[in-house]
Amino acid sequence: MLTEDLYVIGIGPGDLASMSREAYQTLKSVDIIVGYTTYLKCIEEIIGKEQETYVSGMSKEKERVKKAIEYANSGKKVALISSGDPGVYGMAGLALEMAEVEAAEIKIKVLPGITAANAAAAVLGAPLMHDYAVISLSDILTPWEVILKRLKAAAAADLITVLYNPRSSRRKKQLKKAREIYLKERDPKTPVGIVKNISREGEEVLITDLENLPLTKVDMLSTVIIGNSQSYAANNKIITPRGYNV
């Protein structure tokens, strides 16, 4: 029996096999599922005939959260879905913020999901075996000057770095600039992994290095992982040693 009114659920990288059992069972049990068009398509095979859905497009996050809260306030059990984990560039923060601002008397539960960083790392091998940073290159909600500051700090600190939203048809300079920043701090042969369409049809994997990072092959469906000074490539995998004597 569902005890909360609104569940903010991470559906993982895109395939049902990567979803937690709790997330799967909750999605099967709620009255209404609210989500972005693409994400609802990822779970359409488990949506029951008796369940309602509310779908909206890109950049309609506030609209989706508002609708989810309205449904929950009316007594419905609601699932608001995000790809990956809802607390990592997802819907959890916005849902909690808007519920507080609207003084909504509803119970909210966040259900985690496998992030793009973790899913990409698994495909690439073991690149995240030491301290790492996750940075989104999208400057829609974060000023580019702030992103630059974070890139420079992560590069200087020798942190393995996962880049989200690395490049789009309208944002081409960000990834190029990120590469320039890391080349100032790291060996040009530092391994870089690119995974596109993680766990979905058409998945593509490329292991390269900073010097030869193919900018034009990266898009919004890609996750980029830059190794640290200890990372290396072997047997078509990227490995970052944890520090054990092997």
The H-or-E segment that residue 232 falls in is strand 232-234
What's the pLDDT score for residue 84? 96
Half-sphere exposure of residue 245, counting CA atoms within 13 Å on the CB side?
A: 0
Residue whose C-alpha is closest to residue 148's, from 134, 163, 137, 159: 137
What's the pLDDT score for residue 14? 81
pTM: 0.95
Residues 189 and 213 sit within 8 Å (Cβ to Cβ)? no
Fold observed for domain 116-239 = 3.30.950
Q: Is the dihedral of CA 23, 27, 29, 35 positive or negative?
A: positive
What's the pLDDT score for residue 57? 87
Chain segment 144-183, per-residue pLDDT in tens:
999 999 999 999 999 999 999 999 888 889 999 999 999 9
What's the pLDDT score for residue 52? 97
The answer regarding whether domain 6-111 maps to CATH 3.40.1010.10 reads yes
Distance CA 38, CA 82 (A): 10
What's the pLDDT score for residue 58? 83
Distance CA 35, CA 47 (A): 12
What's the pLDDT score for residue 123? 97
What's the pLDDT score for residue 15? 86
Parse the chain into domains and list their residue ranges: 6-111, 116-239
Residues of the chain with pLDDT under 70: none
